[in-house]
Structure formats: structure tokens, C-alpha cells
Structure 1
Amino acid sequence: MPEKPGTFQPLTNSQPTLADLLTIETSASIFYSYARELELSVRFNSDDMSTLLVPTNKAVMALARKPHQDPDPVEPKIEISEQESDQLSKRNVERWVSAHIIPKSPISFSSEAKAYETLLEGKSVTFKAMSDESGEPEWTQVDLEDGTRIIGMRKAKNGVMYIIDSTVKF
């Protein structure tokens, strides 16, 4: 049937993007609120395949220093302008979010420990097999560095999102 002029035809995809998944994943809303403020978040809608390691809100809230804060406290004697503070905060968030993105998908969780480079220069994440329970998905049987566990997985047309119970350390 021919389309009438002025009628709206929504774009539809058979599978959501990583951005779509992050939008509806309420347990990861803090990560996404940090990430979408950055230029690198365009990756979540692009055709570039990515693996996201997304910490739960609970994991982010448990951090002693939040992602926008410097890893090491700035000496109280040093005064910086509001603009410098904003730039520093944005840089800290970009480093933190980048450490949670592996610029390839899919990744393998083989029985041997395997490291994958993240978007944060010089930072890789190592996955180590914990057990081999047949019938269970591979991702449920690995530890991320420091005992971090993957507690959920969502597939997108441009990658995979793994929900983790802690944050990637860098």
C-alpha cells in the first residue's frame, strides 16, 4: 500500500542497540548517566562492536571516591577554578567509563585467563574461569579481576552488555 504524504514511519530494528539496553536497564542507570555525557557514548548507537562491563548502581554507590572525583584527593591548599574543576571531573569520568568498554564483541571466556584491552589506554581486563558447570552460560562461570562477578548479560545488535557487581579498577 502506498504511503500517504506526511505519514510517519518509525525506524525499527529487530534487535536493540547497547544504548537502548542501557536506557531500560534501571540497575545500571548511574553508569549510563555518566557515560552519555561523553563523546564516546556515540559508540553505544554505532555499528562498532563493543563489550560493556556495566557496574550496578549499588556498586557505583559503594565507591569511596565517585567516578567524577580524582582517584587521589587534591590537597586542600590548592585552589582551582570552577572551569578547571569541571574539566578535571569530565576527564575522570571519561577514564572511568573507558575502563568499562572493550572495543570488540563477542569476547571469549575460555578456561585460561584472558585479558582484553579497554578503551582506557594501558588498561586491560582479565577474565578467569572459576568453574565448569555444564549447562550454565560461560559468562556465569568467570571472575573479573579482584573477584568481580558478572551477574547479568544482554545482547545488542552492536555488542554485549555484561552487568557486573563491582567496578573495573584502574
Structure 2
Amino acid sequence: MRLSYLLTSIFPFAVSASLQEQIIIPPMSQTTKESISSPFTSSQPTLADLLTIEPLASIYYSYARETELSSSFFSESVWYTMLVPTNKAVMALARKPHQGPEPVEPKIEISEQELDERSKRNVERWVSAHIIPSRISLSDAPASYETLQDGKLVAVTPVPNSKPDSPEWMRVTLEDGVRIIGMKKAQNGVIYLIDGTVVPN
């Protein structure tokens, strides 16, 4: 009995308070609704996005991130055709990218700073030798394409007796018989995973 009396005496005040605290929100326009329900998103990832999530290319990307070039992998204002060696291909190198080619002169003592600078130059040369700063057509093989490394061209050669119904990238090899084993498209370029490496000048 007391409970029902309490509820009947308190309820009108609760309703009155809740009505006073209500905030009236004006109706949204159609444009506002669309911008909330479908925010701008790019249909494709960038080269940087693809390299970040590609487990076969983690060593190449770790080298690439040491260079200033890597900042352009996010940019929509560039188009790169990237020839990205697999981790296995990089590990198979007798001399790693930061070491550069075998010196022809006898070994001389150099400072740690000079060694660091030389390593950075070697990495820059190696990474840029794997990047063609334009779109390419593999159906145009045989052809050669300029890379970002000065004076370095990459030759693309058709594979004899390749299956005509196979993807274009399976019907060509790069210099020294390096095969393309996969392709991924980005909004600012294409990545071709390769089973070897491009030798810089």
C-alpha cells in the first residue's frame, strides 16, 4: 500500500523533471546524414599499407624505411612500380644491401661515421634500384625501364612457351632470370614480389 502511494506521488515529479531536461535536436539534412554514414575512405591501400602487411617483404621494407624515399610510399601524387624482393631472396645475398658491393681496393680503416654514411648510401642505391617511377606494361616485353637509381635500367623479358591464359606477370622475367611470384595493386602504384633482387649500378 505504501509503495503504491509513494509511486503515485513521486511519478508526476519524475516525468516533469525528465521533460525539462530534454534537449531538442534539429533534424539532420540529407548531406549531413550521408557524411556521417559514409565518411570518405579510399578504395585502395597505399604502397606503404601493402608493404606493412606483406610478410614476404618485411626485410625489403625495413631497408626502405631507412631512406627518405619511404615517405613517398604514402603519397597519392606518385606512381611507383615496385620490384620487391622476398625475404628469402634478400637473405640469399652474399653481401647484404647495407654492405654494398665487394670493395676492389684493399681494406682501409674508416671511421664509424663514414661507415654509417656509406651504409646509408648503399641502402639508398639498393632500394631505389627496385623502384620504377612510372607505370609499365609487361605485355611490351622485351623492354627496359629506368629505376630511381641513376643510370640503372631493369630489363623485362618474355618467358618462352608461357601459358597465354596465365597472368602477365607470370609470363616475364627480370634481369638474370628473376621471376615475379605475385602482384598487389595500390592506389599509388603496383608491387611485384620477386624471387631475386635487382643489382644496383
User: With structure 1 as the length reference, what TM-score do the two structures score?
Assistant: 0.89
Aligned amino acid, residue 83 of structure 1? Q
Check whether the contact 1:111–1:128 (CA below 8 A) recurs between aligned residues: no
1:134, distance to aligned residue in structure 2 (A)? 2.3
Q: Distance in 2 between matches of 1:134 and 1:70?
A: 39
- Is 2:93 aligned against 1:63? yes
1:89 aligns with 2:98: no
Aligned pair partner of 1:32 in 35, 46, 61: 61
Q: Return the offset for 1:63.
A: 0.3
Give the match for residue 106 of structure 2: 75
Supply the distance in 2 between the matched residues of 1:86 and 1:60 (Cα, whole angstroms).
20
**1:169 shift after superposition:** 1.4
Distance in 2, matches of 1:35 and 1:137, equals 27
Distance 1:112 1:37 in 2: 32
Aligned AA (2:197):
T
TM-score (norm 2): 0.76
Paired residues in the alignment total 163
Q: 2:17 aligned with 1:17, yes or no?
A: no
Find the counterpart in structure 1 of residue 180 from structure 2. 150
Deviations 1:32-64 (A, max 9, x none): 000011101122111200000000000000000
Regions of 4+ moved over 6 Å: none
Residue identity matched to 1:128: T
Paired AA for residue 116 in structure 1: Y
Q: What residue in structure 1 maps to residue 194 of structure 2? A: 164
Structure 2 stretches of 5 or more lacking a match? Answer: 1-27, 34-38
Residues 51 and 160 in structure 1, CA contact (< 8 A), matched pair in contact too:
yes
| 2:159 is aligned with 1:121 | no
- SS in structure 1 opposite 2:145? strand
Structure of higher CA gyration radius: 2
Q: 1:79-105, CA deviations, whole angstroms, 9 ceiling, x for partnerless residues? A: 111110100000000000000000012
The Cα of 1:70 is off from its aligned counterpart by 2.6
Q: Is the 8 A contact 1:49 1:158 kept in 2?
A: yes
**Whole-angstrom distance in 1 between the partners of 2:184 and 2:119:** 29
- Identity of counterpart residues, as a percentage? 65
Match of residue 51, structure 1, among 76, 81, 86: 81
Higher relative contact order (CA 8 A, sep 6+): 1
User: Root-mean-square deviation (CA), in Å?
Assistant: 1.9
Separation of aligned partners in 2, 1:161 and 1:138: 14
Relative to total residues, which structure has the larger helix share, 1 or 2? 2
